[in-house]
Structure 1
Amino acid sequence: MSSVYINSAACISVQDTLNENFLQNLNAETSSQILKAIEPVYKEFIPPAMIRRMSKTVKMSSVASHFALKEAGVKNPDAIIVGTGIGCSQDSEKFLKNVLDNNEEFLTPTYFIQSTHNTVAGQIALGLQCHAYNFTYVNTSSSLEFSMLDAKLQIADGEAENVLVGSTDEQTERTMELYKLNKTIKKEEDLPVDYLNSETHGVVWGEGASFFVLGKEKSKNSYAQLKDIQIVNTLDLEETKQSIEEFLSKNNLTNTNIDAVILGFSGDAQSDGYYKKAMELFADSSLLYYKHLSGEFNTASGFSIFMACHILKNQEIPEVMMMNDLKKQAIENVLLYNHLGGNDHSLVLLGKA
């Protein structure tokens, strides 16, 4: 399958990633259970009357998609594809609370209408007056990867030339309480987190929105080539290295051809074992991690793809991401490996544009 190009990248995250100088100001976040995204001044991008009716994830996505389209010089994409893990959960919680508070009577439908996962893609399309293909993937931690795979297929088949692809997830009060109860989120006594050598269970939870414009043609501002994506639902720990080697072989590469590997170490002692297995293959590569910058959440891989785009374009790796001291003179191929709690394993292969 022919390569497609990532022609723009925009991200709202725990870091100040909308700021042009964000790479110089990346800060590791290890002492909080829950990390909040740094949000822009929404009224600069969205009419105030609309802001009041939008959940956080819709607002973040509207602004991130605006920046992505503007950078790519695309006014109306040929498709809008969004991946999300828990969707518009704020409005879902508000609707369910209304059901309980009002004894299932006299309910306003607004929160229910806005609680569906495809609200984000729909709102972006409405704002752009875009009547093209519009789709939402809800596949836990591989939602963005499925979205990018769809976009790649559309471009390869000649169905589209420029596709807006994004991922987004927000936090809600009740969901975070439940995540603490079922030990998804680390206990306070287990903080600060040692992401690379953790002996405790649970993660630090984050949120954010990442949007990209994928195009058929390379532009002077292109960040990377999207070479290939592989998604595996379940994987035995001992199969990790073989799965990666087969993926690379399919792309006529070996582990020595990979200049940088970005791994999703989350600080969860049990599930991080997969990343430790993967590391064994790449003794001659720059080893990087990122969830100490973004937190863990369903579509945290959006942050890693955003960072990989900047690494390939600038040919420079931020020190705060490095796990070893190896830096290659030229960065041609970057491999990203992510999963959530040991499920939904994804491999994304990016190349220099």
Structure 2
Amino acid sequence: MIPVYINSAACISVQDTLNENFFQNLKPENSTQVLKAIEPVYKEFIPPAMIRRMSKTVKMSSVASQYALKEAGIENPDAIIVGTGMGCSQDSEKFLKNVIDNNEEFLTPTFFIQSTHNTVAGQIALGLQCHAYNFTYVNTSSSLEFSFLDAKLQINDGEAENVLVGSTDEQTNRTMELYRLNKTIKKEENLPLDYINSTTEGVIWGEGASFFVLGKDKTENSYAQLKDIQISSRLDLDETQQFIEDFLTKNNLTKNDIDAVILGFSGDAKSDAYYTKAMDSFESSALLYYKHLSGEFNTASGFSTFMACHILKNQEIPDVMRINDLEKEEIKTILLYNHLGGSDHSLVLLEKV
């Protein structure tokens, strides 16, 4: 297997992550049920006539992908792979509302055409006039990880040299209402939220888009080497440590070789038990968390991957992410562990270049 490098990273999130100084200005969010992404001025990147027809997730992804390609110095990638949990849900809702309002008659196809999950990857390809491999993964919280896995295989099989990989999810009013009703989103009375020691169910919901360029060659801008990915759709709580241990053994590592572990604590007491269980395995690692900065959503792991890339490159951990006070002289390896509501568990191993 040839090495695969992350040569650029761009993110639009609840934090001002397009700003060069975002690392010093991270602000935790623990008292709002739903967090909105900080969006750029789209007309600086997208023609105004096109902006009107684009949903929020397409606009965020278009800009984030432009940032990622520019940083990597790539005009046209050899493949475009996007992971998303909810896809273009704004247009999906508009289409369904039209169905109801018009009694299923005389429907315009526009919202339906734009509501499909692969709209994002398709729009990016159209903008770039890129006719290469174009694929979308819809696997809830492991959508980005499946996209990374595909990109890694494309590079290892000699099918591609540079791959644009992204993750994106947006919010819609109706879906947020339903999430409040089924207790996915935390009740007002349970806020502000202590992410690490929560005793109540539900999460604070976020949104965002993260894009990366993966390449077979290391460059001056390279952030990390993408060593390996492991995904499991179901996992019993008592299997957590073995799941991690087997993954590390496969990569000829022990838990003592991991300098930092980024865990997806969301504030949902029941499903966060997996992260608490995982923490017990890493007594000599810096323990970090991130969803108090991004909110929980299907592809929140894109934000954690983006942060891990900057931690490896800057050799600095933001204090706001720390669970413990353990300091490392050098951060060589970072393990990312994520799931959504106790399902679709993923491990991603990144190494300093």
> TM-score if structure 1 supplies the norm length?
1.00
- Residue aligning to 2:150: 150
CA deviations over 1:181-203 (Å, ceiling 9, x no partner): 00000000000000000000000
CA deviations over 1:314-333 (Å, ceiling 9, x no partner): 00000000001011010000
Cα pair 2:2 2:216 within 8 Å, conserved:
no
Q: Take 2:105 and 2:52, find their aligned partners in 1: how far apart are those partners?
A: 24
Q: Take 2:337 and 2:3, find their aligned partners in 1: how far apart are those partners?
A: 19
Q: Take 1:104 and 1:252, find their aligned partners in 2: how far apart are those partners?
A: 58
CA deviation after TM superposition for structure 1 residue 73, in Å: 0.1
Give the SS at the match of 1:312: helix
CA deviation after TM superposition for structure 1 residue 106, in Å: 1.3
CA deviations over 1:239-265 (Å, ceiling 9, x no partner): 000110000000000000000000000
Give the SS at the match of 2:177: helix
Q: Which residue identity lines up with residue 63 of structure 1 in the other structure?
A: V
**Which 4+ residue blocks in structure 1 deviate beyond 6 angstroms?**
none
- Residue aligning to 1:335: 335
Give the SS at the match of 1:234: coil
Does residue 8 (structure 1) correspond to residue 5 (structure 2)? The answer is no
Q: Take 2:72 and 2:326, find their aligned partners in 1: how far apart are those partners?
A: 32
Q: Take 1:323 and 1:141, find their aligned partners in 2: how far apart are those partners?
A: 22
Query: How many residues are paired up?
Result: 353
Q: Which residue identity lines up with residue 218 of structure 2 in the other structure?
A: K
Q: Take 1:87 and 1:3, find their aligned partners in 2: how far apart are those partners?
A: 31
- Runs of at least 5 residues in structure 1 that lack an aligned partner in the other structure: none
CA deviation after TM superposition for structure 1 residue 16, in Å: 0.1
- Residue aligning to 1:63: 63
CA deviation after TM superposition for structure 1 residue 274, in Å: 0.3
Cα pair 2:260 2:333 within 8 Å, conserved:
yes
CA deviation after TM superposition for structure 1 residue 2, in Å: 2.8
Cα pair 2:11 2:306 within 8 Å, conserved:
yes
Q: Which residue identity lines up with residue 116 of structure 2 in the other structure?
A: T
CA deviation after TM superposition for structure 1 residue 159, in Å: 0.4
Q: Take 2:352 and 2:242, find their aligned partners in 1: how far apart are those partners?
A: 25
Give the SS at the match of 1:81: strand
C-alpha RMSD over aligned residues: 0.4
Matches within 5 A, 1:26-105: 26-105=26-105
Q: Take 1:195 and 1:292, find their aligned partners in 2: how far apart are those partners?
A: 7
CA deviation after TM superposition for structure 1 residue 3, in Å: 2.2
CA deviation after TM superposition for structure 1 residue 104, in Å: 1.1
Q: Which residue identity lines up with residue 238 of structure 1 in the other structure?
A: D
> TM-score if structure 2 supplies the norm length?
1.00
- Runs of at least 5 residues in structure 2 that lack an aligned partner in the other structure: none
Q: Which residue identity lines up with residue 90 of structure 1 in the other structure?
A: Q
Give the SS at the match of 2:233: strand
Percent identity between matched residues is 83
Does residue 304 (structure 1) correspond to residue 304 (structure 2)? The answer is yes
Q: Take 2:336 and 2:270, find their aligned partners in 1: how far apart are those partners?
A: 20
Q: Take 1:34 and 1:41, find their aligned partners in 2: how far apart are those partners?
A: 22
